[in-house]
């Protein structure tokens, strides 16, 4: 957890550890692939919070997280928008 950059990021990963029962290797992978930056800090363009009740809108947002990591593709800077 010393690889996190802020208290908010640290606490977010701590919650992920508890919620998903993460092993150390899975936690390290999520930190290395910047899961926090991809899932917690990006503004999501949705209206789920307006259209669905609270339990369902959180479930939808959690289900539609961006899990994509293209580490296996060489020269991915040319194909992935920044």
Question: pLDDT at position 80, please?
Answer: 56
Domain span at 67: 7-71
CB atoms inside a 10 Å sphere around CB 9: 19
DSSP state of 15: H
CB atoms inside a 10 Å sphere around CB 30: 19
**pLDDT category, 66, cuts 50, 70, 90?**
low
Question: pLDDT at position 46, please?
Answer: 67
- The secondary element (H helix, E strand) that includes residue 11 is helix 7-20
For the stretch 5-52, pLDDT in tens is 899 999 999 998 998 898 999 999 989 988 888 777 766 666 666 777
Residue 47 domain flag = yes
Residue 81 domain flag = no
User: Model's pTM, two decimal places?
Assistant: 0.55
DSSP secondary structure of 36-72:
HHHHTSSPP---HHHHS-HHHHHHHHHHT------TT
Residue 77 domain flag = no
Residue 16 domain flag = yes
Residue 53 domain flag = yes
Domain count, the chain: 1
Question: pLDDT at position 17, please?
Answer: 92
Residue 82 domain flag = no
């Amino acid at each position: 957890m010393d690889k996190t950059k802020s208290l908010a990021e640290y606490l977010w990963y701590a919650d992920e550890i508890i919620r998903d029962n993460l092993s150390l290797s899975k936690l390290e992978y999520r930190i290395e692939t910047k899961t926090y930056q991809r899932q917690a800090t990006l503004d999501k363009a949705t209206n789920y919070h307006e259209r669905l009740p609270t339990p369902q809108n959180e479930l939808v947002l959690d289900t539609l997280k961006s899990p994509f990591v293209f580490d296996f593709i060489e020269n991915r800077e040319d194909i992935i928008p920044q």
